[in-house]
Structure 1
Amino acid sequence: MSLALVSMSHSPLLDFADPPADVTAGVDEAFDRARAFVADYDPTLVVSFAPDHYNGFFYDLMPPFCVGYESLSVGDYGTQSGKLDVPTALSEQLAQAVIDRDVDLAISRRMEIDHGAVQPLEILFGDIAAKPVIPIFVNCVAKPFTSMRRVRLLGEAIGGFLDSLDERVLVLGSGGLSHDPPVPQWATATEPQRDMMLDGRHPTAAARDARQQRVIDTAKQFAAGEATIRELNPEWDEEFMRIMAAGTLEEVDAWSPDQMALDAGNSAHEVRTWLAAFSALRAAGDYTVTSSFYRPIPEFIAGFGVMTAR
């Protein structure tokens, strides 16, 4: 019936950092606009494109894309844990439709998701089970990365399927923009880090707390100008957002993973979720961005953006 879009940065530090008051007010206002946009649209189905941060997907088997037939939030960083309301039969139809369009897509009948997928649902709906949600994992942290062109084609295939439904579909893109948090890289990781990256499912509470505290401490150091992680890149962020708003998505087809990391940090690959979401939206026809927010926020270790479109 119709498609609408919300793309937003997420940050595990939303409840653990204290940016300047004007920055916090700006983020809150952007979230309020997004909530009002979604409430007015009143979706009957949500399709969420999100990354994972070695909480649900690991190097024992790392697909470029995966659709969940059932899904469970692990509840990291104080986010809501528990099951999503996944319409399994519809997820199965979506997977088959995408594969029929020559885009390979893994499936999971027990997808575990983390704050990257959960935060937008909490912010927009207040409860991760408030709406039927089809979760779609896009690998944004673990090399090797598929091309940006392939991400665009994934979104296009999914959007073509969604456009055929008698639903009001909200597509979510969760992640980015420029940021380089202390997520380990296999080539430089310690043996304990490699063990976690290979299969770190269901850690002890102490292990999860220690891992999360490392991120929180790095954010404090980064805000004070004392961390060694890569700086945020507002120019790169704003150019990416311009391309998404303009609908000229092919402009990023040739962006290489190595250059993206060099320009905007290792976790800038999370913009792949935005690209997939905007590509799905464009598959249903021309669109217009109805609101846009951007601020570089060191306290969140993120170039932080929120966009809505119809």
Structure 2
Amino acid sequence: MKRHLVCLSHTPLKGHVDPLPEVVAEVGDAVAQLRAEVERFEPELVVLFAPDHYNGFFLDLMPQFCLGVAAQSVGDFASRPGPLDVPRALAEACAEAVVADGIDLAVSWRMQVDHGFAQPLEELTGALDRHPVLPLFINSVAPPLVDFRRAREFGAAVGRFLRNLDQRVLVVGSGGLSHNPPVPQLRSAAPDVAERIIAGRNPTPEARQARQARTIAAARAFAAGSNELRALNPDWDRRFMRDIETRDWSALDAYRNDAISADGGASAHEVKTWVAAAAAFDAATAGAGALRRRYYRAIPEWVAGFGAISSAP
């Protein structure tokens, strides 16, 4: 089969607030197995669905879906800065096909991406630019948010574009699972924070470091038992992963945004990247190919339910 799927959690806290060494090793082993599968697959193109955390997309203009015709990693936390290898003609063709398929897709010729894009590229391929990549952003933090159904329709439109592409394509969904980190909301933000999430592009190194330090401090407090952040929800994580694994589209379409926030946390909306990626794989393969859960653990130190699903190698 010329299509392979990996859905994988990301966290900016690796190396900053780590769980016990055996848990770090366990996650490392799971990621290493996925990377080995990707290397054996030898992708000629990576189609990457990922969110942003007010590092590349801001409230001055927040699209629900955006395709980067050119993209640059900002290098937040431990992720590398630098350009992604975006094949422009193919990206333009994908955008035209997806819009013609009924999806209101934005296009960026200067997309900035953060660890949500960079981490899976680095962990699964070893570099930002080892393979050509189509970077596909899904808004997961700024209301109003699309629902699972619309994320599925977006992914399916991308998958129909991929169906006749004569290349080995790795489809990746990056994000989730349950987590509720201290991402600011406009309605409750102080004026300086509100300005940062409205128009905070290209902060100074000092400003970026200060923001990252606040996130690390919140994670340390959460891991120590602070209840200021919503608890992780392994039951919700496992139910969602089961619905993805079985591609139960009717069950996934029935998820409601308010319930996702209540049960999984405000940032659990990142799993819409998994929904879109699985739908793209499903459409690109006409439903062929089994999916299976590869890893799951609730990891408070990383403020995340951490999991992985992939297609059978």
User: What do the CA deviations read for 1:51-86 (whole angstroms, capped 9, x no partner)?
Assistant: 000010000000000000000000000211011100
Task: In structure 1, list runs of 5 or more residues that go unmatched.
Answer: none
| 1: CA distance, partners of 2:125 / 2:85 | 13
| 2: CA distance, partners of 1:117 / 1:306 | 16
Asked if 1:83 corresponds to 2:90, the answer is no
Q: TM-score, normalised by structure 2?
A: 0.97
Q: Is the contact between residue 65 and residue 139 of structure 2 (CA under 8 Å) also seen in structure 1?
A: yes
Q: TM-score, normalised by structure 1?
A: 0.98
Superposed displacement of residue 286, structure 1: 2.3
User: What do the CA deviations read for 1:199-223 (whole angstroms, capped 9, x no partner)?
Assistant: 1000011111110011101111111
Superposed displacement of residue 166, structure 1: 0.5
User: What do the CA deviations read for 1:265-309 (whole angstroms, capped 9, x no partner)?
Assistant: 100000000000000011122221255100000000000001211
Superposed displacement of residue 18, structure 1: 2.1
Matched with 2:304 is: 302
Matched with 2:57 is: 57
Asked if 1:33 corresponds to 2:27, the answer is no
Tell me: CA distance 1:227–1:214, structure 2 relative to 1, closer, same or farther (3 Å). Answer: farther
Matched with 1:266 is: 266
* Aligned partner of residue 76 in structure 1, secondary structure: coil
Q: Is the contact between residue 5 and residue 278 of structure 2 (CA under 8 Å) also seen in structure 1?
A: yes
| 1: CA distance, partners of 2:153 / 2:289 | 18
Superposed displacement of residue 189, structure 1: 0.9
* Aligned partner of residue 77 in structure 1, secondary structure: coil
Matched with 1:129 is: 129
| 2: CA distance, partners of 1:290 / 1:40 | 18
Q: Is the contact between residue 37 and residue 308 of structure 1 (CA under 8 Å) also seen in structure 2?
A: no
Superposed displacement of residue 2, structure 1: 2.3
Matched with 1:186 is: 186
| 2: CA distance, partners of 1:291 / 1:179 | 19
* Aligned partner of residue 219 in structure 1, secondary structure: helix
Matched with 1:46 is: 46
User: What do the CA deviations read for 1:245-266 (whole angstroms, capped 9, x no partner)?
Assistant: 1011231212121111111110
| 1: CA distance, partners of 2:25 / 2:263 | 28
Matched with 1:286 is: 288
Q: Is the contact between residue 297 and residue 307 of structure 2 (CA under 8 Å) also seen in structure 1?
A: yes
Letter in 1 for 2:250: E
| 2: CA distance, partners of 1:250 / 1:196 | 38
| 1: CA distance, partners of 2:42 / 2:293 | 17
Matched with 1:147 is: 147
Q: Is the contact between residue 245 and residue 292 of structure 2 (CA under 8 Å) also seen in structure 1?
A: no
Task: In structure 2, list runs of 5 or more residues that go unmatched.
Answer: none
Superposed displacement of residue 140, structure 1: 0.4
Q: What value does the CA root-mean-square deviation take over the aligned residues? A: 1.0
User: What do the CA deviations read for 1:120-146 (whole angstroms, capped 9, x no partner)?
Assistant: 001011110100001000000111001
Structure 1: which 4+ aligned runs deviate by more than 6 Å? none
* Aligned partner of residue 154 in structure 1, secondary structure: helix
